[in-house]
Amino acid sequence: MTDQPAKPRPAPSGPYRRVLLKISGEALMGDQAYGIDMGTAERIAEEVGAAVAAGYELCLVIGGGNIFRGLSAAAKGMDRAAADYMGMLATVMNALAMQTALERRGVQTRVQSAIPMTTVCEPYIRRRAVRHMEKGRVVIFAAGTGNPFFTTDTAAALRAAEMGCDALFKGTQVDGVYSADPKTHPDAERYDQLDYLDVIARDLKVMDASAVTLMRDNQIPIVVFDINRSGGLADVLDGHGLCTVVGPKPKKTS
């Protein structure tokens, strides 16, 4: 997509300015059992585009579980490193699908891959990624960390720290963190606020332990919300949406 001249951008109204949005690969499946539902990708892209138009700087990490899950393949006898590399390639496919959905809405987007593949996307370069976001472009980080044995949760935490993000938003299928799966345990307790250590000690499955620890070390809050609710991203960015915050509560802007 050809770059357009930079336009003045509004100041974000919420407590965050730069945010990394982590989306699971399964979130792109929609009602399908496998693969990418472009209607779902278009809906998510609409919300991301609205956030950019409101002045927020966004970067994304998308999982690959809708196409290939390395850990499951390894459990069936495949070499774990090879399976993880295949999972990383699945995240590149999801990133390109999301890029297409965003650019249909006029949102300038860059995909950066931790595994160099310059025919289809940029290599991951931290300073370049920061500059893209400063110009109002959405950067989608693909291929995890580029290393096997690390999840896309850990990749999201790493990129959030490298980009100097104010928060890591995790879009899930529920409106926050619960003591158990609310779909199978209707009496599960919902939390509005948690400490990083609470998540690890209670094994709450927000993100893997290495990702939570990295966020704790950098004091970056993890905000868990329902990615499927229309307007959910905008509401949480503005500071009044239903979510669970792991870590420090944001300071309200005037």
- Which pLDDT belongs to residue 39? 95
| Per-residue pLDDT tens digits for 132-178 | 999 999 999 999 999 999 999 999 999 999 999 999 999 998 999 99
Identify whether 11 is part of a domain: no
Rounded to two decimals, the pTM is 0.92
**Measured distance CA(60)–CA(171) in Å, rounded:** 11
Burial of 2 (0-12, 13-18, 19+ CB in 10 A): exposed
Identify whether 116 is part of a domain: yes
Identify whether 9 is part of a domain: no
Identify whether 220 is part of a domain: yes
H or E, element range at 18 = strand 18-23
- Which pLDDT belongs to residue 254? 44
Beta-sheet pairing, 109-113 with 122-123: parallel
Tokens (6 digits) for 247: 């870590």
Helix extents (H) in the chain: 38-53, 70-75, 80-103, 126-134, 152-162, 196-201, 209-218, 232-237
Identify whether 169 is part of a domain: yes
**Measured distance CA(234)–CA(212) in Å, rounded:** 24
CATH (domain of 206): 3.40.1160.10
By residue range, what is the domain housing residue 158? 20-246
Average pLDDT over the chain, rounded to an integer: 92
**Measured distance CA(77)–CA(115) in Å, rounded:** 24
Identify whether 14 is part of a domain: no
DSSP 115: S
Identify whether 1 is part of a domain: no
225 or 4: which leads in pLDDT:
225
Nearest to 230 by CA among 100, 46, 51: 46
Query: How many domains does the structure of the chain reveal?
Result: 1
Handedness of CA 144, 147, 153, 154 (dihedral sign): negative
